Chain A
Amino acid sequence: MDQWYKIDNTGKIFHAVSSATNSSVFRVSMILKETIEPDCLQKALDIVAIRFPTLTVRVRKGVFWDFMEYNDAPLHVKKESDYPCAPIDTKSNNAYLIRVLYFDRRISVEIFHSLTDGGGAVEFLKTLVYQYLILKGESVAAEGAVLLPEDPPNKEEIEDSFERYSTGRSEKRSGSRGEKAFQIKGTAFNPLGINVIHGVVDASGLNAFAKRHGTSLTGFLMSVLIHVIHTEKMTRGKSEEKVAIALPISLRRQFPSMTLRNFFSVANIGAHVDDHVTFDDIIKEVTGQLKERTDKEALQANINRFVSLQSSLWTRLTPVVLKYPAMRLGFNQFGERAKTMTLSNLGNVKMPESMAPHIERMDVVLYPTRNSPINCGLVTLNDQLTITFARSIEENDIITAFFRELRRLTGFEIAIYSNDWGEET
């Protein structure tokens, strides 16, 4: 069992950039219909952990790259007491970069992003909840929608699919830093922490509404977001900068892969908005860009760029002590600078029909960063779309405006709840 893995192409970046204000820890949760039984959850985790060898690892320091190694220490479930996506203290977590939390009816999995992306995390959570329900004595079946805990890990699940799909054509990013996007500023919470606000809305209704407007659910919500951020921007008198939303795109759809490791790309969708631009214009612009940036050729170019950047001998032979600061600089200058906010849609999560009655809904929390202090995560389960904003600043004007505007535009009921971090009474 002395297995080790190189950190995948995207995962390496998270090692370089994580800090107190950028935990690089994201969360996926399922809210069940009944209160969670910790002992049962622990037993389920003990069984499921072995099934996901690339998630239950420790990270070791290397001279040129860090790497992941099999971890045989126990992984304990914990009652949630900290704010979502808090940095993972490996010392108190038996060196794991993943934690399984429970609170009331919620089971949450928080993962350091270098291990996997949203797709991998959802598969882990699905299997965990499946095993939990089995141990609770519920009559549930996998129905081909869940990775079975008793199956051995498939070789393809642990592969770095970037390497598989790279066509080897070196496609370098242009030297320029690109256009700077509008950046949200605010007062950081004291003490540091993350406030989450969830809005639950009818998924199929909203999807149909978006279709009627000639766009997808993601396109519609992104357009609302750009619209409200623009309004907020105008109050600060910053009319020149464009509003750009970074959209992580799972590559598994266009490049078939069973990998449970990182396999995503990011497309920045932006629009210059002024007083003459209508909401319909924004939808048209966003939808057009979505089509263009999620095109297979564009994604292939991204894969090639990722791989060629990290496979050059110069990059590989530079020690991590020098490489990480350089990667941090690149991340801030190219990644963070070019976006206003990240919006990630994990899509409509398919669950076995027999499990559906036991689960109410899901949510995903995306860690905010210093330059992107508000981020948004979307996920649909049981026809309920949960829109989650995570923020590290006191100001919530954009979030308030977003939900009010969504309600006004669509007329759909939205149920709001929050963890109330930073809301002193």
Chain B
Amino acid sequence: MNRCTHCDLKTNHETCPLCHAKVGAQATQVQGTLYPAYDTKEYRTKTRISRLAIFLGVLTVLICLAINIIVLPEFLWVFYVAVSVFYVLILLSHTILSRSHLGGKIVAQVVSLTILLLVIDLMSGSIQWSVDYVVPFLIVGGILLMSIIILKVRLRWGGYVSFLLLMLALGFLPALFYVAGVATVLWPSIVAALFAMTTFSAIFLFANRAFKTQLGRRFHI
């Protein structure tokens, strides 16, 4: 073993792990090294890619904001860009590139698309077509897609339960919009809520005992 004269300690390293002073050649250890050599470049690249994506998104919005203010200050179209950038970031980082659960990806898509549509609709004057028609059917589509996947994956459905429950809860969002006076057309909201209730009832009545057991666990207090 080498000795660091500064720290008065023994070490097998070439440089002292504490003060970094050169203490001699790496001891030809009978024992070998106990840690792997790390490829920090790989770690850095991973961090940089995600930071770069966020930076590019922010830069795009800032450039558009500048152009918007200079060219057409009376109409702030930059919000369309900002919300689209937000959606693209979710799409890339979560839906496409991440290894998140498929159920989570569906929920994230429904939620981020809902936000995108609400903002676009709001920018056009008043929230109307999004809450009246598109959002309710988007949620119905999400529930339907999740149900089909659960039927297809059969044995591995356990991981989808929380996400399905979340989607079913989202099914009542359009009805809430209607009650709050944000939405003006009733029937799509009713369709979404009914679809959520029907899906839940169907699963509860026809699914095997395992699903009910899962429900019990998910709601344990």
From A62, A91, A396, A419, contact of B18 by CB (8 A): A396
- 23 A-B pairs, CB-CB below 8 angstroms? A35-B32, A60-B162, A64-B219, A80-B36, A91-B99, A104-B32, A190-B47, A191-B43, A192-B43, A193-B40, A193-B43, A197-B18, A399-B18, A400-B7, A400-B19, A403-B7, A407-B7, A407-B9, A415-B1, A416-B10, A416-B13, A417-B12, A423-B20
A-B pairs, top 9 by smallest CB distance, nearest first, are A191-B43, A418-B17, A419-B35, A61-B162, A316-B221, A400-B18, A91-B99, A104-B32, A415-B10
Q: How far does the alpha carbon of A65 sit from the alpha carbon of B100 in the complex, in Å?
A: 20
* Residue contact A416 to B9, C-beta cutoff 8 Å: yes
Tally of B interface residues using CB under 8 Å: 40
Q: In the assembled complex, which residues on chain B have CB atoms less than 8 Å from the CB atom of A63?
A: 165, 218-219
In A137-153, which residues have CB < 8 Å from any B CB?
Answer: none
* Residue contact B221 to A317, C-beta cutoff 8 Å: yes
Task: Check: B152 CB closer than 8 A to any chain A CB.
Answer: no
From A31, A65, A414, A417, contact of B220 by CB (8 A): A65
* Residue contact A420 to B17, C-beta cutoff 8 Å: yes
Q: In the assembled complex, which residues on chain B have CB atoms less than 8 Å from the CB atom of A35?
A: 32
Q: How far does the alpha carbon of A409 sit from the alpha carbon of B12 in the complex, in Å?
A: 23
Known: A60-B162, A63-B218. 15 other contacts (CB 8 A): A2-B213, A60-B159, A60-B217, A61-B162, A79-B36, A82-B38, A92-B99, A193-B43, A399-B18, A400-B19, A408-B8, A415-B12, A418-B35, A420-B13, A420-B38
Q: How far does the alpha carbon of A92 sit from the alpha carbon of B13 in the complex, in Å?
A: 33
* Residue contact B7 to A64, C-beta cutoff 8 Å: no
From A69, A80, A317, contact of B158 by CB (8 A): A69
Q: In the assembled complex, which residues on chain B have CB atoms less than 8 Å from the CB atom of A104?
A: 31-34
* Residue contact A416 to B218, C-beta cutoff 8 Å: no
Q: In the assembled complex, which residues on chain B have CB atoms less than 8 Å from the CB atom of A334?
A: none
A396 to chain B, nearest CB (A): 7
Task: Check: B16 CB closer than 8 A to any chain A CB.
Answer: yes
Task: Check: B11 CB closer than 8 A to any chain A CB.
Answer: yes
In A71-112, which residues have CB < 8 Å from any B CB?
Answer: 79-83, 89, 91-92, 103-106
Q: In the assembled complex, which residues on chain B have CB atoms less than 8 Å from the CB atom of A399?
A: 18
Q: In the assembled complex, which residues on chain B have CB atoms less than 8 Å from the CB atom of A80?
A: 35-36
In A388-412, which residues have CB < 8 Å from any B CB?
Answer: 396, 399-400, 403-404, 407-408
Task: Check: B154 CB closer than 8 A to any chain A CB.
Answer: no
* Residue contact B18 to A420, C-beta cutoff 8 Å: no
Q: How far does the alpha carbon of A192 sit from the alpha carbon of B43 in the complex, in Å?
A: 8
Task: Check: A292 CB closer than 8 A to any chain B CB.
Answer: no
Q: In the assembled complex, which residues on chain A have CB atoms less than 8 Å from the CB atom of B36?
A: 79-81, 103
Q: In the assembled complex, which residues on chain B have CB atoms less than 8 Å from the CB atom of A416?
A: 4, 7, 9-11, 13, 16-18
Task: Check: A413 CB closer than 8 A to any chain B CB.
Answer: yes
Task: Check: A255 CB closer than 8 A to any chain B CB.
Answer: no
Most chain A CB within 10 A, of B8, B32, B46, B217, is at B217
Q: How far does the alpha carbon of A159 sit from the alpha carbon of B188 in the complex, in Å?
A: 49
* Residue contact A103 to B44, C-beta cutoff 8 Å: no
A12 to chain B, nearest CB (A): 12
Q: In the assembled complex, which residues on chain B have CB atoms less than 8 Å from the CB atom of A192?
A: 43, 47
Most chain A CB within 10 A, of B4, B13, B17, B159, is at B17
Q: How far does the alpha carbon of A411 sit from the alpha carbon of B187 in the complex, in Å?
A: 83
Q: How far does the alpha carbon of A123 sit from the alpha carbon of B18 in the complex, in Å?
A: 32
Task: Check: A67 CB closer than 8 A to any chain B CB.
Answer: yes
Q: A80-B36, A191-B43, A191-B44 are in contact. Are A415 and B218 (CB under 8 A)?
A: no
From B9, B44, B99, B221, contact of A415 by CB (8 A): B9
Q: How far does the alpha carbon of A396 sit from the alpha carbon of B15 in the complex, in Å?
A: 15
For A311, the closest partner residue in chain B by CB is B221
* Residue contact B40 to A191, C-beta cutoff 8 Å: yes
Q: A83-B38, A105-B31, A416-B11 are in contact. Are A6 and B18 (CB under 8 A)?
A: no
Task: Check: A209 CB closer than 8 A to any chain B CB.
Answer: no
Q: How far does the alpha carbon of A415 sit from the alpha carbon of B9 in the complex, in Å?
A: 6
Q: In the assembled complex, which residues on chain B have CB atoms less than 8 Å from the CB atom of A423?
A: 17, 20
Q: In the assembled complex, which residues on chain B have CB atoms less than 8 Å from the CB atom of A421?
A: 38
Cβ contacts A302-318/B at 8 Å (1 or 0 each) = 00000000000000110
Q: A62-B217, A62-B220, A64-B219 are in contact. Are A420 and B35 (CB under 8 A)?
A: yes
* Residue contact B219 to A62, C-beta cutoff 8 Å: yes
Q: In the assembled complex, which residues on chain A have CB atoms less than 8 Å from the CB atom of B18?
A: 197, 396, 399-400, 403-404, 416
* Residue contact A103 to B220, C-beta cutoff 8 Å: no
Task: Check: A4 CB closer than 8 A to any chain B CB.
Answer: yes
* Residue contact A105 to B44, C-beta cutoff 8 Å: no
* Residue contact A414 to B10, C-beta cutoff 8 Å: yes
In A200-235, which residues have CB < 8 Å from any B CB?
Answer: none
Q: A400-B18, A403-B18 are in contact. Are A31 and B34 (CB under 8 A)?
A: yes
Q: In the assembled complex, which residues on chain A have CB atoms less than 8 Å from the CB atom of B32?
A: 35, 104-105
